[in-house]
Structure 1
Amino acid sequence: MTEEPANPAHVADSKADVRAAPLLRIDAVVKKFGQFRAVDALSLDIAAGEFFALLGPSGCGKTTLLRMLAGFETPDEGRILLDGKDIAQIPPHQRPVNMMFQSYALFPHLSVRDNIAFGLRRSQMPAAEIGKRVAEMVALVKLEGMEKRKPDQLSGGQRQRVALARSLARRPRLLLLDEPLAALDKKLRESTQLELMELQRKLGLTFIIVTHDQAEAMTMAGRIGVMDAGRLEQVATPRVLYEAPRSRWIAEFVGDINLIEGKLDAARDAQLTMARRLAIATAQAGTIYVAEPQPPPTKANVCVAIRPEKVKLSRRAPTSDDARAINRFEGVVTDVSYLGGSTFYKVRLDTGAVLRSAMANTTRLDFDAYSPGQRVAAWFSPEDCVVLDQ
């Protein structure tokens, strides 16, 4: 699976190509359970020092892939290369790879210190070095003073830190995290995300996290691989994934989006060539003008995708000479959802289509807010539209 480039000209990203010298290369890996292909000829390169996220719905194969990297499952086909060496048949304890489980898997009868030291003792590290390494890990995850406590004497966030310290103690080349923050409450999860990112940068290790939480993946990872039915559907930076999804499925899975089906209007396109615009004839919204995508659509039937925050609302329609508002519609607000930093509106256009708009709440008392039943103008720029084959 190659990284998807950002097709629209307005989507830029400063990330370098991480495939030049991959630490990890997953080459056409297949894993079957009976006739079911949990992972289906999947290929992926991950660079040293990268924070990579595997994102997808339940049952898509992301945890199975992680377990193959850890050595708990063996591929039926393909290779897993770490530093150029095929590790697919190497036992888990002999790999420079550690995995942090969703349940943390701490030993309830062992103290914090002994949980962290467990893997070091199994590797026959000298006792003096074990003590030094454990102290280093305790300080790293900020658990000083808690070394003698048992897991049932710790909070959920503290247990998570012990599991992380144990995973890092052997200094693996690759750290695998399987839904590591799922058991934490929202506030703690958000703060722990930032701590994990800082820790990963400080240590310079390669992290691969499995999650079904889109916000978590986009916050933490430099790149995201979206999986479905055992395959990678798209690999890209969070920005490219959100702004330039390569398919309708990706567009719907990652974030909220408006999808309007239509057909390329060749007659109108001829009049818009100089402006590099395409006209899409839709059944409900009428004609929608979009920036000409590169490469152009391969089919006449297409889908126009617009993120809610790109749909602007106003009490009056913008002037006709405003090129950014060439797509102008009128309608009625039907639903309002106040979310603190933003308000989501649902607008039923006079043409019959329904658009969702997300407007930032920039003042404490927003006197420009709209109410259900209020008539508004909804408008968006051709550059903010993504054209997808149906």
Structure 2
Amino acid sequence: MTEDAGDPADRAGAPLLQIESVEKRFGGFVAVDRLSLDIKAGEFFALLGPSGCGKTTLLRMLAGFETPDSGRILLDGEDIAAVLPHQRPVNMMFQNYALFPHLSVADNIAFGLKRAGLPRKEIKARVAEMVALVRLEGLEKRKPDRLSGGQQQRVALARALARRPRLLLLDEPMAALDKKLRETTQLELMALQKRLGTTFVIVTHDQEEAMTVADRIGVMQSGRLEQVATPRQLYETPASRWVAEFVGDVNMLDGTIASRDHGRLTVATGGAGAVTAAAPRQPTEATAISLAIRPEKIKLSRRGPAADLGHADAMNRLDGEVAEVGYYGGLTSYRIRLDTGATLLAKMANTTRLDVDAYRTGDHVVAWFAPDDCVVLEK
């Protein structure tokens, strides 16, 4: 696992949550494999990965619903691995919301406060505070079956926040919402987290959701962290081929290093010919490498980059033909079949209402991109 260094000021204090070499097995299956991770106070952290990668198991260990077979989980320096769930300053919002159908909105929010034995006056004030926080005023007496999906989610969130946890865990909290409502809720959740300053850890398999809400993302695979980074770092500088292919769309060109010159590599690829890539940190021994190029970095034109474009002669130019076109409103994707045999995916923003700049199937085009647009990955 790799972690990108952030701002030194951000690393100054001790982390709120420290996960040290935690392992969890179910029979012979290793769900979480000696995983270590630090999460800062006030951070919105996302665990991202495919189904079965161990992210929900890790979340359940943080909540206390599962016990690590080995390793430590420290919250504010205290090992909480053996602390019962209701005794931890941690709360969890479940994917299905787990609302009590026979209780009103107010009583659902108050449930944990009553179990904690808070005075009735304080419970009433805390419920009113949470109702206002998630904007459910006027719905306090409604039962869950009379609420929309978005309103039910807000009740579950308010209930999870009512006890003012140091750490809030969210298990796929927006999976049941439609796309428009999910996008709106993501922004509301971010604003709420910033206002409260509570540390949030969200589990999701939705890459766009993780990239939108999180300060940092931990990408998991087979019980391990592949990379921990900010959304931009994760997308622009993936640490491995697996991460590059998992996060977003990417073109992957495999080849061997033909030459090295002043921080650049010339790579002989199997299907795209010679490609020049910027490589500030050049591979030391590896000669077989992969080049990752995001589709939006690839430009298309009839003749290649304009002569007046800075360093136009240094651009990679690949001739080909448009094989497929996909229109998605804000952008159009083009699958280009290169003359050299490889296929590239390019995505271009639709900046005009009419399709004057569009390409059609069968059109000859030049796909071009800068050496800086290539990420060099050792195999």
Q: TM-score, normalised by structure 2?
A: 0.97
C-alpha distance in structure 2 between counterparts of 1:19 and 1:242, whole Å: 26
C-alpha distance in structure 2 between counterparts of 1:340 and 1:174, whole Å: 39
SS at match of 2:86: helix
Cα displacement string for residues 60-84 of structure 1 (whole angstroms, at most 9, x for unaligned residues): 0000000000000000000000000
Residue in 2 that maps onto 1:186: 179
Residue in 2 that maps onto 1:296: 283
SS at match of 1:22: coil
C-alpha distance in structure 1 between counterparts of 2:12 and 2:161, whole Å: 25
1:312 aligns with 2:299: yes
**Alpha-carbon contact 2:17-2:39 (below 8 Å) kept:** yes
C-alpha distance in structure 1 between counterparts of 2:274 and 2:63, whole Å: 52
Matches of residues 248-287 of structure 1 in structure 2 within 5 Å?
A: 248-266=241-259, 269=260, 272-273=261-262, 276-287=263-274
Matches of residues 1-390 of structure 1 in structure 2 within 5 Å?
A: 3-5=3-5, 17-18=10-11, 20-266=13-259, 269=260, 272-273=261-262, 276-296=263-283, 298-318=285-305, 323-324=311-312, 326-390=315-379
What is the CA distance between 1:318 and its match in structure 2?
Answer: 2.5
C-alpha distance in structure 2 between counterparts of 1:235 and 1:204, whole Å: 21
Identity of aligned residues (%): 69
C-alpha distance in structure 2 between counterparts of 1:79 and 1:386, whole Å: 36
What is the CA distance between 1:86 and its match in structure 2?
Answer: 0.2
Please, which runs of 5 or more residues in structure 2 have no aligned partner? none
**Alpha-carbon contact 2:283-2:378 (below 8 Å) kept:** no
What is the CA distance between 1:299 and its match in structure 2?
Answer: 1.2
What is the CA distance between 1:16 and its match in structure 2?
Answer: 5.1
Q: How many residues align?
A: 377
**Alpha-carbon contact 2:95-2:173 (below 8 Å) kept:** yes
C-alpha distance in structure 2 between counterparts of 1:33 and 1:313, whole Å: 51
What is the CA distance between 1:283 and its match in structure 2?
Answer: 1.5
Partner amino acid for 2:14?
Answer: A
What is the CA distance between 1:364 and its match in structure 2?
Answer: 1.1
Partner amino acid for 2:364?
Answer: R
C-alpha distance in structure 1 between counterparts of 2:107 and 2:177, whole Å: 23
What is the CA distance between 1:17 and its match in structure 2?
Answer: 3.9
C-alpha distance in structure 2 between counterparts of 1:300 and 1:148, whole Å: 67
Cα displacement string for residues 120-174 of structure 1 (whole angstroms, at most 9, x for unaligned residues): 0000000000000000000000000000000000000000000000000000000
C-alpha distance in structure 2 between counterparts of 1:278 and 1:109, whole Å: 66
Q: TM-score, normalised by structure 1?
A: 0.94
* Shift in alpha-carbon separation, 1:65–1:19, aligned structure 2, 3 A: farther
What is the CA distance between 1:294 and its match in structure 2?
Answer: 1.4
Partner amino acid for 1:323?
Answer: H
* Shift in alpha-carbon separation, 1:315–1:107, aligned structure 2, 3 A: same
